[in-house]
Structure 1
Amino acid sequence: MIKVSLAKGDGIGPEIMDATLSILNAAGADLTFEEIEVGEKVYLSGNSTGISDEAWETIRRNKVLLKAPITTPQGGGYKSLNVTMRKTLGLYSNVRPCRSLHPFVTTKHPEMDLVIIRENEEDLYAGIEHQQTDEVVQCLKLISRPGCEKIVTYAFEYAKKYSRKKVTCFTKDNIMKQTDGLFHQVFDEVASRYPEIINEHWIVDIGAALVADSPEDFDVIVMPNLYGDVVSDIAAQITGSVGLAGSANIGEECSMFEAIHGSAPNIAGKNVANPSGLLNGAVMMLNHIGKSDVAEKIQNAWLRTIEDGVHTNDIYDPIMSTKRVGTKEFAEAIITNLGNKPKQLPEVFYEDNTPLVLPKYQRKPSKTKNVVGVDLFVDWNGYDANVLADQLKKLNNEALELSLITNRGVKVWPNGFSETFCTDHWRCRYLAKDGEDLSKESIIDILKSAISNNIDAIKTENLYTFDGVRGYSLGQGQ
């Protein structure tokens, strides 16, 4: 018997979890649950992480967590426990199937059946932010080759396992050529190993527009963390309701399964919440742990219940629905339908009863790394970049000289435009005079000179080449 960690969550969490457990038990899932408490009560008890050490140990011991939505208290600087759990446990892949249930659930896209696979650990969700000047804060966008390779490989293996025909990548590498550029590059590399699967790439803004307009053109979509968060909610909503979608978070060791919606405290305790999202997350869990026969039985019963028009309030329609029911009654209707299959909606059939397991990432040989300059970030409350440049040239030394000043990424010196609005945050680029590898002492000398010249240096970023290829962006307009 498999043991699963269980978190009933906050708000509507306990209600939809009880409904889900009743269906799992009735379907013969044969699981043992070990309950933990996470979320709002733990936060408010004085634990700023929202989870105890004992709960962490339970999750790590059982390897599988079924979690209802939780509430992060407002104010107080509390970090999202959902993000913390995904990153701490190495749950690098977020999987969200989005399938329309036309005509039983209202949608403008009756043929929609796609899966969004989102990188889950890095990107802007690293949560590394700093206020650097009175007017400017920064958030670091971190994209790694291991992160890209793991998520893209997972997307292609998922497509292969579940007989999907195409994998699409969304990035914004026309602007973020280093970070999103790496994601796109790795996508092309991995795609070449799966010639039987169609691959394509879209810039994320037009890609998201196409998902909203013609989602039937997509099959599996893989993308970095932030885009995936946004686009997956869009996709879930246009199927008919965010409340229907489940989500899997997969790592090399542990996994977590949940609904994609929040804890909805305004309807908690009223027996009106739709448990479908958590139930579909539980179905994904059953597939993951090799109980695909039970997953198939439950999902077909759920589809049949939707077809029968037995609907909770969020999807109730006077034309297509036959009965408006509460949380418990909806679960009871699904239990009654166990063993039945849908008549109009395509029934599900999970042929492979084994979990999807990928090999561990193997680090590539290191490239030759040379430092060729430094970006010095300066807090200065003037407006004329030429005046600032005159001060910054005093920092030039035998190895480095000022070559560029940007403000919010836009070149303002040399030959900047007076129309460019400037804040008090300036990136000042010093490059090696001979273009060769520098000693880092020359960068330290720049910082010492900044102090002596009363220039407020708030940050430095070394500029590198890797096997001779520039590893930093140019200024906009450069």
Structure 2
Amino acid sequence: MTATKANLRLGVIDGDGIGPEVVAATRAVVDEAIGAAGLAPVRWVPLSIGHDAIAAYGNPLPEQTLTALEDLDAWILGPHDNASYPADLRVAPGGVIRKRLGLYANIRPAAAFTGVRAMAPDIDLVIVRENSEGFYADRNMFAGSGEFRPTEDVAMAVAVITRQACERIAHQALRLARGRRKRVTVVHKANVLPMTTGLFRDVCYAVAEQYPDVTVDDEHVDAMAAHLVRSPAEFDVIVTENLFGDILSDLAGELSGSLGMAASLNCSDTRAMAQAVHGAAPGLAGHNRANPAALQLSAAMLLRWLGVRDNNSLLHDAADRITHAVAATLAAGIATADLGGLASTSEFTEQVRARVHRR
């Protein structure tokens, strides 16, 4: 399907807290970039999670939303505040969606932007996190939880590492590295978890034999954390399991300037979800002060993923326009309060929309 002949159909989920504000800001920028690239307008499909869904359906993640997502190739997910849901409804919608739709890869770039004060101004890397298993209790079992208490005083957790999951995340990382600086670092803890993270490391090396143009090495996760603080510019693509990837990507996000700038994409081979790393920040909700950059950059990743999947250069162009517009806005000294600026959410977004046309 040629996107100039048919509308791109994308799901859009506001979420909680600042979600409606940053999602609206992201939609506006995506619409601007899609038009500037010569594509037909997006057909947005609104869906509900979180407090709005509880009010409407008595469920923070209603079956109607999940069923609708199964009919979509891609969507934008706003942040959610599941800690504030009623105790009997306290699910994490993002985790459930990732498991239900098989979004096994979490791609999290970390790069410093001109105009944003960064602890590591030379950082430019991508963390590729296995998203479906590991120690994460909400997604590593067919039924029930991977975390349990056999007695009142004992808590246990099951970690799951499978060859299939290791292979597919390794392919994601190695393909990504081919378009960057052609280096992958496998992060594990095989010295104390030899069967689980040792399997992860070994399978990644085995898959790497199919990519002779990519250099592959490995690090223990504790050493990797130290290396990121000391010399992040040495790293290109980092691939690791779920828990380690979650921790290291937050560290890398802070090193690059702020979690308010941390974009991410959750994807399988056929579906993708743009989701900023940051939370719902309910204290900022409704004040027009939230930073929309992370979700806008996540949406650019989504368009680029669709461009690769569909071999559509216009989608690449739209993605590049968003990335460059956000970068140019920040370089011009226009930023929200979390970055030390004075711009509101809407003011920042209007500046980005204007720069979408300045290629």
* 1:80 lines up with 2:104 in the alignment: no
Cα distance in 1, alignment partners of residues 57 and 12 from structure 2: 22
Task: Kindly name which structure, 1 or 2, has the bigger radius of gyration based on alpha carbons.
Answer: 1
* 1:92 lines up with 2:90 in the alignment: no
Question: Which whole-Å deviations, capped at 9, do the CAs of 1:163-213 have from their partners, x for residues lacking one?
Answer: 332000111111011111110110110112212111110000011111122
Judged with a 3 Å threshold, the aligned counterparts in structure 2 of structure 1 residues 202 and 41 are, in CA distance, closer, same or farther, namely same
Alignment-derived partner of residue 80 in structure 2: 70
After TM superposition, give the deviation of residue 135 of structure 1 in Å. 2.1
Alignment-derived partner of residue 258 in structure 1: 275
After TM superposition, give the deviation of residue 46 of structure 1 in Å. 6.6
Alignment-derived partner of residue 212 in structure 2: 195
One of 142, 150, 160 as aligned partner of 1:142: 160
Cα distance in 1, alignment partners of residues 63 and 57 from structure 2: 14
1:35-114 alignment to 2 at 5 Å?
Answer: 35-43=46-54, 47-48=58-59, 50-74=60-84, 76=87, 78-102=90-114, 104-114=115-125
Alignment-derived partner of residue 337 in structure 1: 355
Cα distance in 2, alignment partners of residues 293 and 8 from structure 1: 26
Question: Which whole-Å deviations, capped at 9, do the CAs of 1:207-229 have from their partners, x for residues lacking one?
Answer: 11111221101000000000000
Structure 1 segments unaligned to the other structure (5+ residues): 318-323, 342-478
* 1:119 lines up with 2:130 in the alignment: yes
Question: Which whole-Å deviations, capped at 9, do the CAs of 1:337-366 have from their partners, x for residues lacking one?
Answer: 12325xxxxxxxxxxxxxxxxxxxxxxxxx
Alignment-derived partner of residue 16 in structure 1: 22
Higher normalized contact order (CA 8 Å, seq sep 6+, divided by chain length): 2
1:243-392 alignment to 2 at 5 Å?
Answer: 243-290=260-307, 291-316=315-340, 324-341=342-359
Alignment-derived partner of residue 3 in structure 2: none
Cα distance in 1, alignment partners of residues 242 and 266 from structure 2: 12
CA contact (8 A) 2:180 2:236 kept: no
Secondary structure of the residue that 1:94 maps to in structure 2? strand
CA contact (8 A) 1:99 1:113 kept: yes
Alignment-derived partner of residue 441 in structure 1: none
Cα distance in 2, alignment partners of residues 43 and 252 from structure 1: 31
Cα distance in 2, alignment partners of residues 73 and 44 from structure 1: 16
- Residues matched between the structures, number: 332
The residue type equivalent to 2:10 in the other structure is V
Runs of 4+ in 1 over 6 A off after TM superposition: none
1:128-167 alignment to 2 at 5 Å?
Answer: 128-160=146-178, 162-167=179-184
After TM superposition, give the deviation of residue 52 of structure 1 in Å. 1.6
After TM superposition, give the deviation of residue 132 of structure 1 in Å. 1.2
One of 186, 196, 202 as aligned partner of 1:169: 186
CA contact (8 A) 2:183 2:214 kept: yes
Judged with a 3 Å threshold, the aligned counterparts in structure 2 of structure 1 residues 46 and 66 are, in CA distance, closer, same or farther, namely closer
The residue type equivalent to 1:212 in the other structure is V
CA contact (8 A) 1:43 1:73 kept: no
Cα distance in 1, alignment partners of residues 14 and 73 from structure 2: 17
CA contact (8 A) 2:66 2:97 kept: no
Structure 2 segments unaligned to the other structure (5+ residues): 1-6, 308-314
CA contact (8 A) 1:97 1:114 kept: yes
Question: Which whole-Å deviations, capped at 9, do the CAs of 1:65-95 have from their partners, x for residues lacking one?
Answer: 1111011044615221111111111000000
Secondary structure of the residue that 1:243 maps to in structure 2? helix
RMSD after superposition: 1.5
The residue type equivalent to 1:96 in the other structure is R
More helix by share: 2
Secondary structure of the residue that 1:33 maps to in structure 2? strand
After TM superposition, give the deviation of residue 4 of structure 1 in Å. 0.7
The residue type equivalent to 2:109 in the other structure is P
| TM-score (ref. length: structure 2) | 0.89
Secondary structure of the residue that 2:110 maps to in structure 1? strand
